[in-house]
């Protein structure tokens, strides 16, 4: 462990994601699956499909929620920079919140100042693929290269070793879940997300904030995109609302 591996609240919460791997699975499916959390929820307001995903794929250490029913974990997908990440980091620092930022290779190469700031301020870096490729369209060797090329780049350039992966566009297969598991990665999906990535069709701050508040649940992994002007605007209010509802963020 290097000096850059700071223990953040997000990392501490994710440390709870521990499971006993099941027996090796035979004849893994290569069928491409598009993940979605669904709309039906259980008595704790958590999407049923997210719970079902956890039950089905825990053997691969792949998760859509966390076991900590008091906490909401904020995650951001970082495909490219749109000028809002600095403000997002300012808000997270002001509120004392650590988040997970899933980087693509292009982002890791171009945005060194922001990536260094993420590390220095106690956030977690996640792997979103060197080229943001659909792993289900790649061979086993190609998929490993897509994952590990970014892993090694971040390790070499930033002195940081990533351990969490998010599938680009949420497209996965059993085979590729096992690929990640073999490489020592835990795979994180999400239990709530909304259409925040369309930069030319941003939802109003009021609509977005209300959706986040209504969908809040314990163990939530919240997916946001830092390219969203709305997210940058409402982030502080969302954190305050989650805390007012009794959640740890």
Strands (E), 146-196: 164-165, 171-172, 186-188, 192-193
Q: State the DSSP H helix or E strand holding residue 55, giving kind and residue range, or none if neither.
A: helix 48-57
How many Å apart are CA 101 and CA 247, to the nearest integer?
Answer: 21
Whose CA is closest to 128, among 169, 156, 83, 89?
169
| Residue 225 is among the residues annotated as catalytic for this protein | yes
| 123, 128, 217, 225: the active-site residue | 225
How many Å apart are CA 208 and CA 197, to the nearest integer?
Answer: 12
| 54, 68, 77, 134: the active-site residue | 77
| Residue 123 is among the residues annotated as catalytic for this protein | no
Contacts of 27 (CB under 8 A, 6+ apart): none
How many Å apart are CA 182 and CA 193, to the nearest integer?
Answer: 28
Tokens 């940081």 sit at which residue? 160
Angle 68-75-159 from CA coordinates, rounded to 5° = 105
Output the CA torsion 240→241→246→249 (10° steps): -50
Q: State the DSSP H helix or E strand holding residue 12, giving kind and residue range, or none if neither.
A: helix 9-14
How many Å apart are CA 80 and CA 83, to the nearest integer?
Answer: 9
Q: State the DSSP H helix or E strand holding residue 96, giving kind and residue range, or none if neither.
A: none
Query: Catalytic positions, please?
Result: 77, 225
């Amino acid at each position: 462990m290097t000096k850059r591996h700071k223990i953040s609240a997000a990392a501490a919460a994710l440390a709870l994601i521990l499971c006993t791997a099941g027996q090796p699975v035979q004849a893994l499916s290569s069928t491409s699956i598009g993940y979605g959390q669904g709309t039906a929820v259980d008595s704790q307001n958590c999407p049923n499909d997210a719970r079902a995903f956890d039950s089905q794929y825990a053997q691969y250490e792949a998760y859509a929620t966390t076991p900590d029913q008091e906490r909401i974990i904020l995650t951001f997908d970082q495909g490219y920079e749109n000028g809002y990440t600095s403000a997002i980091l300012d808000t997270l620092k002001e509120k004392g919140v650590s988040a997970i930022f899933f980087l693509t290779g292009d982002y890791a190469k171009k945005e060194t100042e922001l990536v260094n700031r993420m590390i220095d301020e106690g956030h977690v870096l996640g792997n979103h693929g060197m080229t943001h490729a659909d792993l289900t369209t790649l061979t086993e060797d190609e998929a490993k290269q897509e994952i590990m090329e970014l892993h090694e780049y971040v390790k070499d350039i930033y002195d940081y070793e990533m351990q969490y992966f998010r599938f680009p566009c949420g497209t996965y297969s059993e085979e590729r879940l096992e690929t990640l598991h073999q490489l020592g990665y835990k795979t994180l999906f999400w239990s709530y997300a909304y259409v925040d990535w369309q930069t030319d069709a941003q939802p109003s701050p009021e609509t977005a904030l209300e959706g986040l508040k209504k969908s809040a649940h314990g163990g939530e992994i919240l997916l946001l995109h830092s390219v969203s002007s709305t997210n940058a605007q409402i982030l502080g209010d969302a954190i305050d609302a989650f805390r007012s509802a009794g959640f740890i963020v």
